[in-house]
Structure 1
Amino acid sequence: MTASQVAAELEVSPATARRDLEALSMAGIPVYARPGRGGGWALVGGARTDLTGMSAGEVWALSRILGTAALNDSETRVPTMKFLQALPSSLRDEAERLMASVHDDRVAWGKSADVVTSVLSRLCDVVARRRIVTASYKSRNAERSVKRLLPLGLVNKAGVWYLVADGEHGVRTYRVSRLEDIVVTDEGFDPPSDFDVATYWSTQAEVIERKRSGIAAVLRVHSSIVPALRHQFGRYVSLIEEGDVSIVEVRAHMLVGLAERLAGWGDRIDVLSPPCLRSELARIGSELVAHYSSPRR
């Protein structure tokens, strides 16, 4: 092809096409210029595209992200093997070894994995094709409703999948395991031009975290207990005063739930505030004493 033909195909100027072709040739890509009448730019005979332009670091990063899931899943195994075969021979064996050695288990300890594979596959398809769907959705309180959704993206949060979709009440998040009777329509849609699923999720996650930490309590504990409280409450614990006896703040969504989580510590913690939490802990203690002090019938 002449540089002018390349320029027309790629909708750039002939000067830009010629400059880029020369840069490709200098970078080692097997293209060369043949001068004179009937000349132009050509690929070396038998040359084909592969992934030779990728650095070793880029190959390792992709292999790590794909991991064992890509090799073991029936839907991704074939394209993953094609990816490996397209790599330069100097990188192929190491990439496959790394991929087979990195296993990503996204289910938290003590949690069960949601069985959403088939539904997830359909949702990936409609997200890619931008197709409107209707589905039955079961809310947390078990109420069902039929939704007409414009799927915008999918999010995996610690092994739990969520669908981000536009609908009657604007953009919302739906737990995939609660979606049933999904019907894909022939209607297409254009997503909002400024929508970005990562940005949306980051904002929503921060809102949810604030809701989950509306109740605060100040505790006096021995310093040896602080690491365990950090493990139990995660981001919802902060150290106020550090010493042999430390002052910490812990947060939770509800007063009752916070009391239940602290009750197991017995007298190893001392709740300084709020008073209502002390009362709730006393109630739980009295209830347990009343229940277990009498012989079992």
Structure 2
Amino acid sequence: MRPCRQLAPQTGHLMTSFYESFVGMRSDRLVAILLLLQRREQVTAAEVSRELDVSERTARRDLDALAMAGVPVYSVQGRGGGWRLVGGARTDLSGLTASEARALFLAVGPASDATPAMKAALRKLVHALPKPFQVQAEAAAASLVVDPQRWGASRIEHRPPRFLDELQDAVISGVQVLLGYVDSKGVETRRTVHPLGIVAKGPVWYLVSNTETGRRVFRIDRVSSADPTGDPVHRPGDFDLAESWNETAKEVDRKRTPLEVQAVCTPDGIGILRMALGDRLDVGGSTTDGRIEVVIRGPNESILAGELSGLVEWVEVTGPPRVRDRLASIGNALVERYGRPRTSGDLHPS
């Protein structure tokens, strides 16, 4: 018998393990596995696979992820082996340590994809925790948002940034931080911030904070120092990290895609537009001829016209005129290149 992974003793380590282990793992599966382990003396990956209707490979990965994040789960090797909770099936999960409670609630907090039933089960578990752990567990649950959709074609490494652990601790502990920060132009500043939450946007980590000038978002890989002041954070009573980040992401997307194109689309083309354009597409009402009004956002005329030229079977751009002109130019170029019969000279240019 041996632990599959050493349990993470500190919140910062749990934070790193969480991102590496739980991105891509459904939160309701996590809780279901915990409850399954609590009901039985021991489970195998095959049993978890059958119970949750996932592959054995996924079941093994999920079990391993629980252990990596600091939840008291270990593997028994050899013939008749499997997975167990520390202390056996009679283990009371309300007896989790502070670090283990943080690990669980980081993974299945209000901002996660857990079902309402799973979240209700967690609320019951919170109330069963020792009083000193309840505040920390609830703070951990509200401290993190994972937004898997990256901005642009980022090639940033997945290695967590230097001050991630310290800032996560500050969020959960509710203390202000004297933050050193280097902006995109290389200018370094120092300011006192009120950390409110951490967001993982693709491979990039962000700190959401209140400052003297209002709500700000800082890229954590640009943080040059993070010194807790010991003073309590002033946290708005109605603050919700997921909602705040959603508004921030929308604002950034609007700045990245400032150009709006008006168009009409055939009903059978709406699904194709959704797949091609994602959240850059806004769908409106129907026109008198049965088509559907849409607004499409993009960074500039050239990129948008290039995208829409491949959707001409379903979409007619109605404005602005400069995008229509660009599409006409692309159409003329396509006819010039592909609209005449091919000759041997076309195939083998001299």
TM-score normalized by the length of structure 2:
0.48
Q: Counterparts of 1:66-81 in structure 2 under 5 Å?
A: 71-72=64-65, 76-77=69-70, 79-81=71-73
CA distance in structure 1 between the aligned counterparts of 2:254 and 2:324, rounded to whole angstroms: 23
Match of 2:158 among 105, 110, 115: 115
Structure 1 residue 271 displacement after superposition: 1.3
CA distance in structure 2 between the aligned counterparts of 1:61 and 1:197, rounded to whole angstroms: 24
Q: 1:270 to 1:165 in 2, by over 3 A?
A: same
Aligned alpha-carbon RMSD (Å): 4.8
Name the amino acid aligned to 1:117. Answer: P
Q: 1:261 to 1:231 in 2, by over 3 A?
A: same
Structure 1 residue 163 displacement after superposition: 0.7
Q: 1:84 to 1:176 in 2, by over 3 A?
A: farther
Partner-residue secondary structure (3-state), 1:240: strand
Structure 1 residue 186 displacement after superposition: 4.7
Partner-residue secondary structure (3-state), 1:115: coil
CA distance in structure 2 between the aligned counterparts of 1:267 and 1:158, rounded to whole angstroms: 33
Q: Counterparts of 1:95-106 in structure 2 under 5 Å?
A: none
Name the amino acid aligned to 1:231. Answer: M
CA distance in structure 1 between the aligned counterparts of 2:292 and 2:314, rounded to whole angstroms: 13
Partner-residue secondary structure (3-state), 2:214: coil
CA distance in structure 2 between the aligned counterparts of 1:180 and 1:228, rounded to whole angstroms: 41
Q: Which has the larger radius of gyration?
A: 1
Q: Tell me which residue corresponds to 1:229.
A: 273
Deviations 1:206-235 (A, max 9, x none): 544555665443334444322110122234
Name the amino acid aligned to 1:219. Answer: A
Name the amino acid aligned to 1:259. Answer: A
Deviations 1:29-76 (A, max 9, x none): xxxxxxxxxxxxxxxxxxxxxxxxxxxxxx967626999578438862
The aligned length equals: 225
Partner-residue secondary structure (3-state), 2:272: helix
TM-score normalized by the length of structure 1:
0.54
Q: Counterparts of 1:105-144 in structure 2 under 5 Å?
A: 107-108=148-149, 114-119=157-162, 120-129=164-173, 130-139=175-184, 142-144=185-187
CA distance in structure 2 between the aligned counterparts of 1:261 and 1:231, rounded to whole angstroms: 12
Calculate percent identity across the aligned residue pairs. 24
CA distance in structure 2 between the aligned counterparts of 1:290 and 1:146, rounded to whole angstroms: 55
1:155, 1:161 within 8 Å by CA — same for their partners in 2?
yes
Q: Tell me which residue corresponds to 1:154.
A: 198
* Structure 2: 5+ residue stretches without partners: 1-26, 35-58, 75-83, 94-103, 114-145, 340-345
CA distance in structure 1 between the aligned counterparts of 2:205 and 2:318, rounded to whole angstroms: 39
CA distance in structure 2 between the aligned counterparts of 1:248 and 1:76, rounded to whole angstroms: 47
Structure 1 residue 88 displacement after superposition: 5.3
Name the amino acid aligned to 2:229. Answer: E
Q: Does 1:238 align with 2:230?
A: no
1:217, 1:273 within 8 Å by CA — same for their partners in 2?
yes
Name the amino acid aligned to 1:166. Answer: N
Match of 2:31 among 50, 59, 63: 63
Task: Pick 1 or 2: higher relative contact order, CA cutoff 8 A, min separation 6.
Answer: 2
Structure 1 residue 245 displacement after superposition: 6.3
CA distance in structure 2 between the aligned counterparts of 1:180 and 1:291, rounded to whole angstroms: 51
Q: 1:184 to 1:62 in 2, by over 3 A?
A: same
1:116, 1:176 within 8 Å by CA — same for their partners in 2?
no
